[in-house]
Chains A and B, each alone.
Chain A
Amino acid sequence: MATLLRSALRPLRPLGGRRGPAADVPLRGVRHGAGLLYPGHIPTSPLQKALLAAGSAGMSLYNPYRHDMVAVLGETTGHRVLKGLRDQMRKDPEGAEILQERPRISLSTLDLDKLRSLPEGSLGQEYLRFLDVNVVISVSWDRALRRNLHSAQRVSPDTRAPTRFVDDEELAYVIQRYREVHDVLHTLLGMPTNILGEIVVKWFEAVQTGLPMCILGALFGPIRLSAQSLQVLVSELIPWAVQNGRRAPCVLNLYYERRWEQPLLALREELGITEPPAVHVRGPA
């Protein structure tokens, strides 16, 4: 009886997952952790991913302070590249360790006192200094919806939103790791968090990871720059970033949590990163 019904209903089923298995009843049971791949996972259909990618790309251009849109863009467009990154991490010994142990860089997991007590010039010290010095004025959308704040927000590892739209648990970790490593990259490359610095880091990341979001950010980020900044960018910063990106091994393979004591300069030498050019900030870039 059940099979009869099933065969009767089959031709009436909606085509190709367009109705959104995301929205239909079976997946709803999934919402309660029963079949979710990881906490915070929102299953999406291919059409939804395409719309999200387009929408988030447009919105991040329109409002560059929407960091969550950049994150969504990365998640929806990066599946294939993330697989490549994950496979490459598996091949590297340190990378494989990271995939197994799944370390996270967040304020709760970082021992700030220990980092502060590290010698001058070490990676941990420099990273902490970077966090303290860089104040990012951003509209925190989550809170803004409730309190309408423009919050002058210190950069902290926790400003990275959790992954939601990646449909593979390991890849979700990889992209989360990439986001958390982003700040360490700033320290490594010696780039501030103004728009010029961000673009340089994006170029570096684009060459290193090949994520579509990085490539798009690297190509379209400079749109809002003044002619002067653009000139500096193109003549000095981008060539430097590309060169170093090509030369350095994949930065995702570094177990940063074990390298806090390592002097920053030694790490740069190990990766083949040359002295970063000075980024002059002349008012809003």
Chain B
Amino acid sequence: MATHRSCALWSYCGRRWSRVMRCCRLPGFRSSWPRGPLGARHLSQEKQATETHFGFETVSEKEKGGKVYHVFESVAKKYDVMNDMMSLGIHRIWKDLLLWKMHPFPGTQLLDVAGGTGDIAFRFLNYVRAQHKRKQKRQLRAQQNVSWEEIAKKYHNEEDPLGGSRVVVCDINKEMLKIGKQKARAQGHKAGLAWVLGDAEELPFDDDKFDVYSIAFGIRNVTHIDQALQEAHRVLKPGGRFLCLEFSQVNNPLISRLYDLYSFQVIPVLGEVIAGDWKSYQYLVESIRQFPSQEEFKEMIEDAGFEKVTYESLTSGIVAIHSGFKL
């Protein structure tokens, strides 16, 4: 009993103690964490099996999907502007770093899940296009005694500027996909891009189809993260790579406090002033706190069957890139 009360106390002392809280998984304490098979289920016998978190709220699992959908439906139009405002433009660097880590080459088949507005997909296309051009230049330079005719032919026979690469953008939310398609048109991306409406927990693709599976800032919104990871494992080809860019736990205590202050004080205000939507951005910062730490997430990825799982923390752990291989 005493320990139960003390656990409640820990919870009242703020989210920074969330890690401590998570260790304090006693029966009757805050209900479910969407864990891998052995975790919370074993310990919290009294909670109902169908409850999960929506930010700091507790909702039924059925509700969560709908609520998350609603959030992204309302933020879709202002999504990119708000990203720039909230992260002061740093999110672009994070996404660039994800691409550099991915290091795709012409011919890579990418599945970008929860990629609604297309940031990763467009970066992928640009990267691959640049790679292809460089490859062509190298080939030309390597060839000796090439006639002008042959050079002209090389540049004219531009059947596929992407060199066979394709990206499929999959998102559960129609509004986000709409915005993504508009951006694609505006930026002139036509070839090599497909937009699919689908659920990360139940992907509408066959097994062993993709070389790379990426999910940027999307997996924390999924109701059953372990299912999403299993799906990722299924649709990847053997040798395929899983990459996840997501908000994570800050390792530096001073920066953590500043980050918390900024997240909880400034971001909902920004949401209200710029997008007219306080609650969605409150959900955003709370869902970040609910997401497991780098190590825990790494274990979840390993549970799904991936090997050689590593992670790299960026900006003191504000975000982390997790990578795993299906071998």
Contact = CB atoms under 8 A, between A and B. Distances in A.
A25 B15 contact: yes
Interface in B71-123: 73-78
Contact of A55 (B2, B5, B269, B282): B269
A122 to B, nearest CB: 37
- B interface SS class: helix
B35 to A, nearest CB: 19
Contacts of A148: 77
B6 A1 contact: yes
B278 A23 contact: no
Interface string A32-61: 100000000010010110011001101100
B194 to A, nearest CB: 25
A14 B257 contact: yes
Given A48-B269, A141-B276, A19 B260 contact: yes
B272 A47 contact: no
B85 to A, nearest CB: 11
Q: Residue among B2, B12, B73, B76 with the most chain A CB within 10 A?
A: B12
Contacts of B3: 1
A45 to B, nearest CB: 7
Nearest to A164: B278
Nearest to B276: A141
A72 B272 CA distance: 9
B278 A55 contact: no
A62 B265 CA distance: 23
Interface residues of B, number: 42
Nearest to B277: A145
Interface in B238-282: 257, 260-261, 263-266, 268-270, 272-279, 282
Interface string A193-228: 000000000000000000000000000000000000
Contact of B278 (A1, A5, A42): A42
Interface string A6-19: 10010011100011
A9 B73 contact: no
B14 A2 contact: no
A23 B286 contact: yes
A19 B12 CA distance: 12
Given A25-B14, A26-B12, 14 more contacts: A1-B2, A20-B261, A22-B264, A23-B286, A24-B15, A25-B15, A25-B56, A28-B286, A31-B57, A48-B268, A51-B269, A59-B273, A141-B276, A146-B73
The 6 tightest CB contacts between A and B, nearest first, are A23-B264, A55-B273, A28-B56, A20-B264, A141-B276, A51-B269
20 contacts: A2-B5, A9-B13, A13-B13, A13-B14, A14-B14, A14-B260, A22-B264, A24-B12, A24-B14, A25-B15, A28-B57, A45-B265, A51-B265, A51-B266, A52-B269, A52-B273, A59-B274, A72-B273, A145-B276, A164-B278
